Structure 1
């Protein structure tokens, strides 16, 4: 019997204080328990834009604490997952072309868009992890990269696009459970329906079609990983479902699974 195909995820990763939110951490932990155990994880985080496409460390190196102004204990988090050199070689083989060169950053550890959710989902840090940069924010180009990565799903690799479904730090509310602004609710509702309808064209053109798109994403890096996810799951979009929804400090934490 063949091994079941690994799903592909887009998740809203939260900031370091996510670790203090018992509801969201519980949701992430429950989600991981429902997934087949992956052989390796490929993370595409909103917090690593680098061109050409670049692969992070394939050995266990220190995390990247790419944030400031938080209490000291957030800088003391450790996540010593094994590296994934075989996965790095496989990713290179799938995406490398004259138009898509692949570089290496062997000293770059996981940033908070990668390790913050992984700490909750795979707390034992016993699954090899590779982080890959986003070489562009162009949705169509990221969709195509995702399509090229899709064969990894048949090899036990969990592909995770890690962003935030709405992301405007100036629009955050002080209370984690505080009521979201209209722009966050409207964009989240639009995106939810576009995903459920499988309307890839609308999602690709979200900056023009979505209500309050500029307020929800003044800079689009946190929505961009969704397109890698959609590309990797392109032949199973009818299985797309929301696993986590709601809001955190007014930002939509919608997270979805395909497959």
Structure 2
């Protein structure tokens, strides 16, 4: 009997997500918030969320606050109401301890670092009740191979009910957008290439995307918004082969590809 009870109460293995997080005005988009809400509604309810955002680079790898703190409004020039958004999710000290045990490299604590907009902007739409513990960790490097290894080491958390999310943007070149109207060719070309590479599970091509993709350097002149994908891929590749994946959200927002992918 006890074995049956344990089986019923064991957490369901969570998928791993890479999402394009948009910007504060995402909340005003007529379509995107609903897409994110529908996505989360179709997932098992996580016990905790581990977030890796393009907007926090810190080495060695850092753990953010394990308690509720004010958000980090790491953007400028937006209307005032975007700076009044709140997201008081519980901290996740137990998850932080698990991360420390899984990673062999030095891990530093930054207890005063709240969630940045790469973390909270999508979470406001996906889990608006803010009742799931959230831990944000930093990107300690932009090297795809090293990030994928970090993801592999974090993969066991998925079996503990932890939703691992890499938050970036599938294409991201704001400077080039200033001179473009509609969807620029480089954004569309890279999005199509990335979609096909993911479907083919072509890990080698994705790891070497700056050389093997069309317009890779234009789509990502600096690679921090693509980098979280590799943590997600690592978390989905612990057995040496990527879990089944699908693009849950696609299309473009202000010329940037908002492709968002679920593994598992």
* Shorter-chain TM band: over 0.9
Q: Which runs of 4+ in 1 moved over 2 A?
A: 1-4, 171-175, 235-238
What are the within-5 Å matches in structure 2 for residues 95-244 of structure 1? 95=103, 97=104, 100-172=105-177, 179-234=182-237, 235=239, 237-244=242-249
Q: Which of 45, 67, 85 in structure 2 is aligned with 1:77?
A: 85
CA separation in 2, counterparts of 1:171 and 1:65?
24
CA separation in 1, counterparts of 2:12 and 2:196?
28
Aligned residue for 1:54? Answer: 62
CA contact (8 A) 2:12 2:160 kept: no
Alignment pair present for 1:63 and 2:66: no
| Secondary structure of 1:137's aligned partner | coil
CA contact (8 A) 1:56 1:104 kept: yes
CA separation in 2, counterparts of 1:51 and 1:156?
27
| Secondary structure of 1:167's aligned partner | coil
CA separation in 2, counterparts of 1:4 and 1:109?
28
Aligned residue for 2:259? Answer: 254
Provide Cα deviations, 1:39-82, integer angstroms capped at 9, x if missing partner.
Answer: 00000000000000000000000000000000000000000000
Aligned residue for 1:91? Answer: 99
Alignment pair present for 1:30 and 2:33: no
- RMSD over aligned CA atoms reads 1.4
Report the CA distance shift for 1:104/1:40 in structure 2 as closer, same or farther (over 3 A). same
List alignment gaps of at least 5 residues for structure 2: 1-6
Alignment pair present for 1:16 and 2:24: yes
CA separation in 2, counterparts of 1:69 and 1:157?
35
Provide Cα deviations, 1:135-167, integer angstroms capped at 9, x if missing partner.
Answer: 000000000000000000000000000000000
CA separation in 2, counterparts of 1:199 and 1:209?
11
CA separation in 1, counterparts of 2:129 and 2:198?
32
Output the TM-score relative to the length of structure 1.
0.96
CA separation in 2, counterparts of 1:47 and 1:3?
30
Provide Cα deviations, 1:119-139, integer angstroms capped at 9, x if missing partner.
Answer: 000000000000000000000
